Amino acid sequence: MAHLLNTSFVPSSQTLRRSPNLPPLVPSLPGRRSRPRVHCKIREIFMPALSSTMTEGKIVSWVKSEGDKLAKGESVVVVESDKADMDVETFYDGYLAAIMVEEGGVATVGSAIALLAETEAEIDEVKAKATSNSSSSPSSSPAAAPEPQPETIAENVNVGSAPFPVSPVVKTPVSMAASSVHPASEGGKRIVASPYAKKLAKELKVDLGSVVGTGPLGRIVAKDVEAAASAAVESTVAAAVGPAPGAGAAASPGIELGTVVPFTTMQGAVSKNMLESLSVPTFRVGYTITTDALDALYKKVKSKGVTMTALLAKATALALVQHPVVNSSCRDGNSFMYNSSINIAVAVALDGGLITPVLQDADKVDIYSLSRKWKELVDKARAKQLHPQEYNTGTFTLSNLGMFGVDRFDAILPPGTGAIMAVGASQPNVVATKDGRIGMKSQMQVNVTADHRVIYGADLASFLKTLASIIEDPKDLTF
């Protein structure tokens, strides 16, 4: 039966395996069938692997509390991966018996973060079993007084191996039932808020305990935090006495000098990827592109929602159509692949990290749809709600620091891609015209870093020449 159900239930108490030829220990009464003893069944809920690069995850919040009844497909916990916050659902019906990694705790992929009991009556037994094994199976969470992991008596419920049901945090209804006190609770009342709301509360210094949630079942959402912050500012201004508002605001940047700060999950992933990129032999080629025509086009279409990022991505994609080797990738060191799609990843700086949302099939999508998609991706990236396919499917990467006035820089090649282009600011320069006169033109510097195992100098030179011709005559960008 266990084989048919594809499960590995193990009794919570050890029983002797008796030979079928031996008589029963307790004889059955005449005329009455003996009733088999049912043992407590325990399942471990694992830390899921939410992306191919994720090695550990941080518990952002438990959607359910200890003692809550769970239904298959219901969200249980919000996990912060190396790129995004995602709701993780359960594959089984049961009761959340013991939370082993508290909110804020970090656990490696595949390690147990909670225990699931089959019935409500078994919750206490599961908790007792977890407590009895605390000395031999410590939790991977750094939180104070964590619950221990169980021994091998529990069934392993691998919710982390693909495919797994994961949905954006903002779309999942949250149960407010609470039967235990968590560190994020006050007075025994659990505070449930979306990850973005928690991030906003931290940035705006809003106490979530004083915020009334208007989301599903009372969940605190971003607009609740913003409303509370606005109310606090208004009351502060109204009661202000003494120095002018903001007189001492710059004196407290919120950074304690001299302290050692551990990497966030995202920073750890970025660090790992950058170290991995050092094993790839790369080279760099620069090019100067005149942007007068592109700037004029941008002024015309800006009011229609078109962004400069979308224009650059579109121009790059059209150039890659003519130079597929620059859009290729080498992963094993023995072969390379001509990618069938042109997916432009664009680097976006976040608080405490970096992520590269992907504009998929950028060569085929019109500039207006591309701009709308880019705005959507940036909003989701800042809310840490990107799906894995929205940030790990890039075939060519753009990194633009032009908005900061940077005129040129080099970018590090992301692992698994063939090239990345660093874009500097467009600035007016004095140049000599073809007729020998002196004139002014807006120009920008681009530098491409490429994998020299696949892409050669002539390939990049030809690609950049094509890109320059598209940008300097951008009529094809708005088709």
Residues forming the active site: 452
Q: Are 198 and 170 spatial neighbours (Cβ–Cβ below 8 Å)?
A: no
- DSSP states along 240-273: --SSPTTTTGGG--S--TT---PPPHHHHHHHHH
Q: For the chain, how big is the Rg over CA atoms in Å? A: 29
Q: What is the CB neighbour count within 10 angstroms for residue 186?
A: 12
Distance between CA 108 and CA 268 in Å, rounded?
13
For residues 424 and 443, give the distance between their C-alpha atoms in angstroms, rounded to a whole number: 9
Q: How many secondary structure helices (H) and strands (E) does the chain include? A: 9, 21
- The answer to whether 313 and 362 have CB atoms below 8 angstroms apart is yes
Side by side, the strands of the sheet bearing 112-117 are 69-70, 94-99, 112-117, 42-46, 155-157
Closest C-alpha to 352, from 417, 269, 465, 285: 269
DSSP-based three-state secondary structure for 290:
strand
- The burial class, CB within 10 Å (0-12 / 13-18 / 19+), for 232 is middle
66, 338 in Cβ contact below 8 A? no
Judged by DSSP in three states, 402 sits in helix
Q: Which of 55, 70, 79 is nearest to 166 (CA)?
A: 79
The answer, yes or no, to whether the previous bond of 163 is cis (omega within 30 of 0) is: yes
